[in-house]
Amino acid sequence: MRTILLMMAAAATGCVSCTQMGCLGTLEVVFDEPATAGDYAADVALGDLVTTCSFTVGETPDTGGFQSDCDVVVADGAVSLRVMTGMGEPPERVTIALLRDGEALGTAEARPEWSEPFHPNGKRCGGSCQSASVSVEF
């Protein structure tokens, strides 16, 4: 009975027990036009966090695959990158710099429309993740 009363008192005062679960959001970057043959590196900057995604487009089967913080899908020259984002407020702008065979192809900037935040520990406990997709042209 005493435990129930303590729990009721904690609930009445707004005391919340928070977990420390984390989550990952994603930013999907879709290239508007098919990529020509070559070895690519894309630097995706989300604020201070820069993730490099590497992939190859060629006559043999295209390669991509999962990398530490980046998932690359290449099919018939069409390229999309999925970059993992951490918890916290996502940036308003992202910058993507693209290189092919070591030569710069250009830089694109986008303003993602982020999803509603996901709160793995509940809204009152803080911490959230969001996802978005942007299209870029080089």
Q: Is residue 4 part of a domain?
A: no
Q: Is residue 132 part of a domain?
A: yes
Q: Is residue 9 part of a domain?
A: no
Q: What does pLDDT average to over the chain?
A: 82
Q: Is the pLDDT of residue 109 over 50?
A: yes
Q: Is residue 8 part of a domain?
A: no
Identify the band that residue 62 occupies on the pLDDT scale cut at 50, 70 and 90: low
Give CA 106 to chain center in angstroms.
Answer: 21
3-class DSSP state of 96: strand
Q: How many domains does the chain have?
A: 1
Look up the CATH number of the domain holding residue 48: 2.60.40
pLDDT of residue 94: 96
114 by Cβ neighbours in 10 Å (0-12 / 13-18 / 19+) ranks as middle
Q: Is residue 5 part of a domain?
A: no
Q: Is residue 57 part of a domain?
A: yes
DSSP string, 24-85: -EEEEEEESSPPPSEEEEEEEEETTEEEEEEEEESSSPPB-EE-SSEEEEEETTEEEEEEEE
Residues spanned by the domain of 67: 18-136
Q: Is residue 12 part of a domain?
A: no
Q: What is the pTM of this model?
A: 0.76
CA-to-CA distance for 136 and 11, rounded, in angstroms? 49
pLDDT of residue 12: 46
**Spatial contact of 86 and 24, defined as CB atoms under 8 Å apart:** yes
Q: Is the pLDDT of residue 14 over 60?
A: no
CA-to-CA distance for 83 and 52, rounded, in angstroms? 9
**Spatial contact of 73 and 67, defined as CB atoms under 8 Å apart:** no
